[in-house]
Amino acid sequence: QRTSFHRSQTLDFKNGYAFSRLPREGVGGETLFANQLSQDELDDLCTKGATLTYGQVKRPAPSRFTPAFVANDKKVLKFDAYFMEEVAISPEEHYRIRHVGLYYYLEDDSMCIIEPKVKNSGLVQGKLMRRHRVPKNEHGDYYHWKDLNLGIDLTIYGRTYRLVNCDSFTKVFLESQGIEVNPPEELVSDPYTEQRRTPVQKPIVPAGPDPFRQFLTYDTKVLRFYAIWDDTNCAFGDHHPCIIHYFLADDTVEVREVYKRNDGRDPFPVLMRRQRLPKIFVDKTKNFPSCVLEITDHEVQEWYSPKDFGIGKTVTLLGRTFLIYDCDKFTQDFYREKYGLTDFQPLDVNKKPLEKVPQVIPPYNGFGIPEDSLQNCLSLFPKPPRKDIVKMLENNLKVLRYQVALESPVPEDKNRRFILSYFLSDDTISIYEPPVRNSGILGGKYLRKTKVTKPGSTPENPMYYEPSDFTIGSTIEVFGHRFVITDADEYVLNYLERNAKSYPAATVQSMRDHFLPRKVVVETASSGIPKKDLDDLIVEVQKELKLQAPFNTRQFHETFHHFDKEGSGFLDKTTFLNICDRFNVPTSTILLKKVRWKGCCACG
């Protein structure tokens, strides 16, 4: 029942000399009683007297102790053995015999199995089992040298080894220990290895042409053909121009693809490497599936030769079909001398230009602006329309603002006023409604910044509103809503006057007529009359007008402009009184004396 078998150290060095000493502990740490005497020795000491007169009796030197691992160091039992391995994936062999050497180390009762390496065997050989104590059964027993002999089967880890022979030291050791060694057996050879060693009878083939003579005659002589590889049957296929080289020295063929600049293909040099190409294969039946990487002469009935190439011929090389349409001068001379050919007219393989199909633009669907929707018809991945960068930089932050009124049959919409902004940088329009308290209408952004087409324009030729279309009193139609321009910013007049050459004279004159009364007021204010007196007079006139019934202010303005033929902003007293009587505007004599006869001041 012992589980520990370690031994204590007995070998050591002292002053450079090796010496051995007695073990302090037994195997596995067992206590040793080196000087304990037996009962018989104690009795002899009690009864036996001294035999010497002087001194003590010298004890004899103890016998020299040698550990077992020192006595059996480098002593190995060597057996020749073999085992049978099953082969289930080969039709030529069902099992194989593998020869091994079994080594038993007497030092620590360990074993190892080594298989000699055979070159090009394809097997993992060498040390099949590392050196260790090999278990014998399930009870925890280990193999001992007493279990080894010739002519027996030794099962180790599920594999059965047959011991057939041993060396002379092993035989002498076993016989010295009283074991009768069985006679040796012959080492069984592997049947597949013996079959491979049998010389194969080569068939006698009649002597053919000398290939070395062909090499010396046609060395550095190459036939060059120009061909087209039609790959249009595959996805993204095309017609690939190629050059076929036929080497007369060894009847090999090489194919190179011709690349053009910016053709979108990877410029690898060779499409088919230089090799012999089979033309007709031998019909053969296969009883066992095999995978062949190289084609031998036994599998090919006919190889490609110079007679298979020519202008106008179609050749299939490794599954690719090539149409030969031309060749160089050396190739023409070779075929003219050897085969007597005279017609070397090249074929026309240029692509015919495809008939251009006109692009039909579908009708505008109403989403977005027409230019933006048109990009979906021009490319698969639409891009935003190109903008005029110069125009955007020149007209950056330049906005023309107009006051517009909504034309609507709804009575609530008559008093609604809007601010129309025209952006000169990109010709877009936005409309904003100023909020009016207690009006019942939520003000804010009415139309976001976008381009607005004129009525009657088509999606194919859209016409957008321009600054020349905005005059006082003109109507602007924005997506079904009609707006009338009633007023404009003073910046609009200044911009149109600075760029009068770019816009119609009617547009500029409309703005001038609209802003003329305001200029008269400014001139009157700067004519020397005290500003306070002028303001008081305007307030007094406005009070008088508020006492009267409401009248059409717009028509009142138009009447004053109608009688002002010269556009000076002045009317005589008689004309002014007639206009006031027509619109039932009461005139006070005191006010008339104070007011200078200006139509703009009369209308407040």
Helices (H), 19-109: 39-47, 68-71
Residue 438's region, left for phi above 0, alpha for psi from -120 to 50, else beta, is left
What the block records as the tokens of 307 is 């007679």
Residue 455 CA to residue 463 CA, distance in Å, equals 9
Residue 447 CA to residue 406 CA, distance in Å, equals 13
Query: Is residue 117 within 8 Å of residue 126, measured between CB atoms?
Result: yes
Q: What is the pLDDT of residue 35?
A: 61
Residue 321 CA to residue 167 CA, distance in Å, equals 69
| Residue 492, helix vs strand vs coil | helix
Q: Angle 505-525/531-546 helices, nearest 10 degrees?
A: 110
Domain ranges of the chain: 11-46, 70-196, 211-339, 361-387, 397-525, 535-603
Q: What is the pLDDT of residue 288?
A: 45
Give every residue of the chain whose pLDDT is below 70, as ranges.
Answer: 33-38, 48-57, 205-209, 284-294, 519-538, 541-554, 565-570, 573, 584-604
Residue 43 CA to residue 49 CA, distance in Å, equals 12
| CATH no. of 70-196 | 2.30.29.170
- Cβ atoms within 10 Å, residue 598: 19
| Residue 514, helix vs strand vs coil | helix
Contact residues for 373 (Cβ-Cβ < 8 A; gap 6+): 364, 365, 367
Query: Is residue 517 within 8 Å of residue 568, measured between CB atoms?
Result: no
| Residue 359, helix vs strand vs coil | coil
Q: Give the CA radius of gyration of the chain.
A: 60
Q: Is the pTM of this model over 0.85?
A: no
Domain 70-196 matches domain 211-339 at the CATH topology level: yes
Q: What is the pLDDT of residue 534?
A: 60
Q: Which residues of 271-306 are buried (b: 16+ CB within 10 A; e: fewer)?
A: bbeeeebbeeeeeeeeeeeeeeeeeeeeeeeebbee
Query: Is residue 302 within 8 Å of residue 251, measured between CB atoms?
Result: no
| CATH no. of 397-525 | 2.30.29.170
| Residue 307, helix vs strand vs coil | helix
Q: What is the pLDDT of residue 358?
A: 86
CATH class of 211-339: mainly beta
Q: What is the pLDDT of residue 601?
A: 37
Helix (H) or strand (E) holding 100: strand 95-105
Q: What is the pLDDT of residue 131?
A: 95
Q: Which residues of 418-452 are buried (b: 16+ CB within 10 A; e: fewer)?
A: bbbbbbbbebbbbbebeeeeeeeeeeeebbeeebb
DSSP annotation of 503: S
What the block records as the tokens of 556 is 């009142």
